[in-house]
Chains A and B, each alone.
Chain A
């Protein structure tokens, strides 16, 4: 902190001395929490990834075996593929829907109650979302299928069909998060100067054109940031899969997070699970760096 120009020069000496003892006291809980539950597990996790360990007998080092095994493991590649489908479908639909909702909220100048209502699914636990959508999408008594039957369509087992299941999970979570994401975009839109819109309306520009050619470009930095954050979250899809499909049918929704979980806590293959955790960590890191680079590049758009 460079701004030490104090309004009270008499305090200088008191402020200049190190606050180390007080700082140590106040930081103690957070430091313990960080060291025990973040830093140490991180080290442990990396170390474990080079061992073979079933929790019962002591771990023994196996070098890079776990990583080599990953390359040979079709279920690992399947998990990556399924996760990627999930991320692409979830992020694309969620972002488009959220932008549309934010634009609509803006154009009708929605009241607080509307903006709150759209947020409800995001506040509801994933477990409840999974159960409610299992019911809504049930092939026999589900409301959605009743509606499909009503208009003469073919009813579907959305969660129970291996062709559809991962798309169902992705769209359910898009539905859950679209209101939240929309409000992030909406908050970003409020920072755009009204005079920009004024100028455009004087030019005779209409609603959708204004949104497309003015709002969206000016919103790009916000969009980029929201994309980074939601993509990191999207890679970590677990709850919905665990409750609604348990990775099935077959392997069709066995996403990477769920596969790691099963290896670790159902088969007690801690070494292999940790190695996959390291890989997931690296994937998320690379994606974040790429996206943050893009974010910096788009910064110049506003000014």
Chain B
């Protein structure tokens, strides 16, 4: 997907000069249109990023200072007390003094739960979906393609529709407020993951596999040692998409995972927001809590920015 961005004015120059990652941006003349485009883009970027900077700035501000803090992005009187409070490291007195309600939230635990939930879903979904996708791409048996179509049609069903019976099932199994109940509906497959991986497995030449079969390799070895390494890019992309979705999951976890020991960060932060007095909300604490949700994704973006951005071209189905 690393196609060079074709430029509308000096595309020819671009084609001559490029070929590698370097783009001839310096050659660009600063025409009024170009400057206007940049200005517009910068404004849009500020609108996109600013609320998160403001969130961070507030998270490092005392609640008492919020009214008078002005519009500077750097807190005048910075503090980490809000992070200490939401991570359960501050004493009740500290919490009350800083504008909390003294109830002692422990987002450290919820952060750990969320990271675990995300990791388990990524491993389970990608692994099990890879097995299924390989079957649909390569193995032959009667009714395979019909079965695949049936799997795919599940993409159309709105989650709220299946959430109702799934909740009842979890209740009957006694899995409410257990980690198993939390991950169960997502662990084994998603139609999207199977569809996505099957596309890539199909594009791998059969000859590669036949050579391995000739060497006496079994199907499982072929999948894990030939196919999956060749599809490592799409697998990583799928893992990232799965992680982002798992991190964002709210409806299901707040139905079956309200107990503190399995509570996810999303549920905890939402509960924290709802229990904050509406007359004088604990904004600094809330922003520190929200920052805990934002920072892991910002790190993911910094590390995997190229992969995430480039993957959007073909993952747009989600």
- Mark A residues whose CB is within 8 Å of B: 1, 3, 6-8, 10-11, 14-15, 18-20, 22-23, 26-27, 29-34, 36-42, 44-45, 48, 55, 97, 100-101, 104-110, 112-121, 123-128, 130-136, 138, 141, 143, 146, 175, 178-180, 183-184, 187-188, 190-195, 197-198, 200-201, 206-208, 210, 225-226, 229, 235-236, 238-239, 242-243, 257, 260-261, 264-265, 270, 273-274, 277-278, 280-281, 284-285, 288
Known: A15-B210, A116-B305, A118-B48. 9 other contacts (CB 8 A): A20-B141, A32-B188, A38-B162, A41-B169, A42-B154, A128-B269, A198-B11, A243-B273, A270-B164
A contact residues around B79 at 8 Å (CB): none
A contact residues around B93 at 8 Å (CB): none
Q: CB of B144 within 8 A of chain A? A: yes
Q: Is the interface of A mostly helix, strand, loop or mixed?
A: helix
Is there contact, CB below 8 Å, between A41 and B165? yes
| A109 nearest CB neighbor, chain B only | B5
Is there contact, CB below 8 Å, between B129 and A30? yes
Measured CB to CB, the closest approach of chain A to B208, in angstroms, equals 10
A14, A23, A120: the one within 8 Å of B297 (CB): A120
| A278 nearest CB neighbor, chain B only | B161
Name 7 interchain pairs, CB-CB below 8 A, sorted by A: A30-B128, A138-B281, A138-B283, A187-B312, A242-B250, A261-B251, A264-B164
Binds A, one of B39-47, B83-91, B98-106, B229-237: B39-47
Determine the distance from Cα of A265 to Cα of B251 in the docked complex, in whole angstroms.
11
A120, A136, A187: the one within 8 Å of B48 (CB): A120
With contacts A33-B188, A41-B164, A114-B45 taken as known, whether A120 is within 8 angstroms of B298 at the C-beta atoms is yes
Q: Is the interface of B mostly helix, strand, loop or mixed?
A: helix
| A8 nearest CB neighbor, chain B only | B210
Is there contact, CB below 8 Å, between B167 and A285? no
Q: CB of B287 within 8 A of chain A? A: yes
Number of A-B contacts (CB under 8 A): 321
Determine the distance from Cα of A146 to Cα of B41 in the docked complex, in whole angstroms.
24
A26, A109, A236: the one within 8 Å of B23 (CB): A109
B28, B164, B250, B301: the one within 8 Å of A273 (CB): B164
Is there contact, CB below 8 Å, between B286 and A135? yes
Q: CB of B184 within 8 A of chain A? A: yes
With contacts A1-B140, A41-B161 taken as known, whether A238 is within 8 angstroms of B251 at the C-beta atoms is yes
Find the residue from B162, B247, B287, B298 having the highest chain A CB count within 10 A: B162
With contacts A18-B140, A180-B312 taken as known, whether A118 is within 8 angstroms of B159 at the C-beta atoms is no
| Contact residues of B between 56 and 92, Cβ < 8 Å to A | 58, 66-67, 71
| B58 nearest CB neighbor, chain A only | A135
With contacts A37-B166, A277-B160 taken as known, whether A115 is within 8 angstroms of B309 at the C-beta atoms is yes
